[in-house]
């Protein structure tokens, strides 16, 4: 019969239409603007309305999500910012787009290089968010940010002040990675201490 195929297809859309209301009723009041609701809507058995009501509700980003890089600093006791970066230049070499510029710090007294950058720029209008800088930095000093609400009215060249964020922020957005790195670092320090101990004793 002509039209049977169309009707069959319409059945699918009708089914979806009905599902929308059924799911709304089933999740009455909890489907929108609640974390469970968002989780349900992005789970594999979601049905009905699929929309995330951004900006009122936001889709949580996974831990590995990468947007733009940022530099980590440890907060000192008196509020000083101890940047982790040693200006070793590995990230600048690993960066495929070559959008990292680093000026290696020098000691004004001796003129010798010091492990701290004097300048650090990332051109966010070139960066391809590939994450290589974070992946290959041996000092865990550069990481990928989760903040994506960065639209602006001008071009985006990020200098060192804009790039720096505290380690606590990093621990907040990537708890698992942070824990793993801390563990590795502690283990390394312990090994070092163990090695140093017999030498000293």
Binding mask 46-85 for ligand SF4 (x = CB under 6 A): -----------------------x---------------x
Quote the tokens at residue 143: 């990481």
Quote the tokens at residue 173: 């957005």
Closer residue to ligand SF4, CB minimum distance, 86 or 174: 86
Q: Does 133 bind ligand SF4 (CB under 6 A)?
A: yes
Closer residue to ligand SF4, CB minimum distance, 40 or 70: 70
Shortest Å distance, C-beta 118 to another protein: 9
Distance CA 145, CA 163 (A): 10
By CB under 8 A, name the one of 144, 164, 167, 173 that touches another protein. Answer: 144
DSSP 8-state assignment for residue 60: P
By CB under 8 A, name the one of 131, 165, 169, 181 that touches another protein. Answer: 131
Q: Does 12 bind another protein (CB under 8 A)?
A: yes
- Of the candidates 81, 85, 134, the residue with the CA atom closest to the CA atom of residue 105: 85
Quote the tokens at residue 10: 């319409």
Shortest Å distance, C-beta 113 to ligand SF4: 12
Say which entry of another protein, ligand SF4, none residue 9 contacts (CB below 5 to 8 A, set by partner kind).
Answer: another protein
SS (H, E, C) 25-71: HHCCCCCCCCHHHHHHHCCCCCCCCCCCCCCCCCCCCCCCCCCCEEE
DSSP 8-state assignment for residue 63: T
Q: Does 44 bind another protein (CB under 8 A)?
A: yes
Find out whether 48 and 24 touch, Cβ atoms under 8 Å: yes
Instruction: Pick out residues in 87-126 that bind ligand SF4 (CB under 6 A).
Output: 87-91, 94-97, 99-100, 102, 122
- Of the candidates 113, 116, 68, 119, the residue with the CA atom closest to the CA atom of residue 95: 68
- Of the candidates 149, 148, 143, the residue with the CA atom closest to the CA atom of residue 166: 143
Kindly list the residues in this chain that would bind ligand SF4 in the complex (CB under 6 A): 69, 85-91, 94-97, 99-100, 102, 122, 127-133, 137, 139, 141-142
């Amino acid at each position: 019969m002509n039209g049977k195929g169309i009707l069959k297809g319409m059945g699918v859309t009708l089914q979806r239409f009905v599902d929308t209301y059924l799911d709304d009723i089933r999740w009455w009041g909890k489907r929108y603007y609640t974390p469970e609701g968002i989780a349900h809507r992005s789970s594999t058995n979601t049905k009905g309305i699929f929309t995330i009501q951004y900006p009122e509700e936001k889709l949580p980003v996974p831990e590995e999500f990468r947007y733009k890089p940022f530099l980590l600093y440890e907060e000192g006791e008196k509020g000083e910012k101890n940047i982790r970066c040693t200006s070793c230049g590995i990230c600048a070499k690993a960066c495929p787009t070559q959008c990292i510029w680093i000026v290696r710090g020098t000691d004004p007294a001796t003129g010798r290089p010091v492990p701290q950058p004097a300048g650090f720029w990332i051109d966010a209008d070139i960066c391809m968010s590939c994450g290589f800088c974070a992946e290959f930095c041996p000092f865990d000093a550069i990481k990928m940010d989760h903040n994506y609400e960065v639209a602006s009215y001008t071009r985006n060249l990020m200098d060192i002040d804009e790039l720096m964020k505290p380690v606590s922020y990093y621990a907040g957005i990537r708890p698992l990675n942070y824990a793993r790195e801390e563990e590795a670092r502690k283990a390394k320090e312990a090994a070092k201490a163990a090695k140093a101990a017999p030498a000293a004793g």
